[in-house]
Amino acid sequence: MKTNEFYFNEDNVTIIIEEFENLKEAKDMINDCFINNREYFGEDDNLYILYKDGSEYVLSRHMEMGTYKKTNIKAVVIDNGYTYQVYGDYYLNDDAIIEVK
């Protein structure tokens, strides 16, 4: 996993982004830590998956939206309140929040 740090001077905030090397690495994390082990979730943990057909899957401790599918994943964002873990094309918006392309 590759780690990048972005510093936002106006807010005195450092954003840490860990990029998965490949989709298999992202899927292993998703299955091991979220799908097959819901106890892994912390209060601030969020999982977002964008599929190639435009559909989405969102999972947090208190909410699940959409259907988890193992195939046709375009992008993954895992946010734990301190670090983003990402797969696919992304950018940081003006509010220092990860957006997928």
- pLDDT for 101 equals 81
> What does the alpha-carbon distance between residue 14 and residue 46 come to, in Å, rounded to a whole number?
19
Q: Is residue 100 part of a domain?
A: no
Q: Does residue 82 sit within a domain?
A: yes
Domain assignment present for residue 96? The answer is no
Residue 101 lies in a domain: no
Q: Is residue 85 part of a domain?
A: yes
In a domain, 77, yes or no: yes
Q: What is the pTM of this model?
A: 0.86
pLDDT confidence tier of residue 4, bands split at 50, 70 and 90: confident
Q: Which range of residues forms the domain containing residue 10?
A: 2-91
- Residue 8 is predicted with a pLDDT of 65
- Say if strands 46-51 and 90-92 run parallel, antiparallel, or are unpaired: unpaired
Got the DSSP string for 8-70? ETTTTEEEEEEE-SSHHHHHHHHIIIIIS-GGG--TT-EEEEEETTS-EEEEESS-EES---S
Domain count, the chain: 1
Which pLDDT belongs to residue 73? 97
